Amino acid sequence: MFVDTIFAPGRIEYIKKEKQKGCIFCAGSSREEGLVVHEESTCFVIMNKYPYTSGHLMVVPCRHISDINDADGGELEELMNLTARSVAVLKKAFNPEGFNIGMNLGKAAGAGVDAHLHMHVVPRWYGDTNFMSTIGGARVIPEDLETTSDLLRTLFQDIKGDRR
Active-site option among 38, 56, 116, 118 = 118
Query: Counting beta carbons within 10 angstroms of the beta carbon of residue 133, is it exposed (0 to 12), middle (13 to 18) or buried (19 or more)?
Result: middle
Q: Which residues of 79-106 are buried (b: 16+ CB within 10 A; e: fewer)?
A: beebbebbbbbbbebbebeebeeebeee
- The reply to whether 64 belongs to the active site is no
For 107, phi then psi, to 5°, come to -60, -40
Q: What is the rounded CA–CA span in Å between residue 135 and residue 60?
A: 32
| Catalytic sites, residue numbers | 118
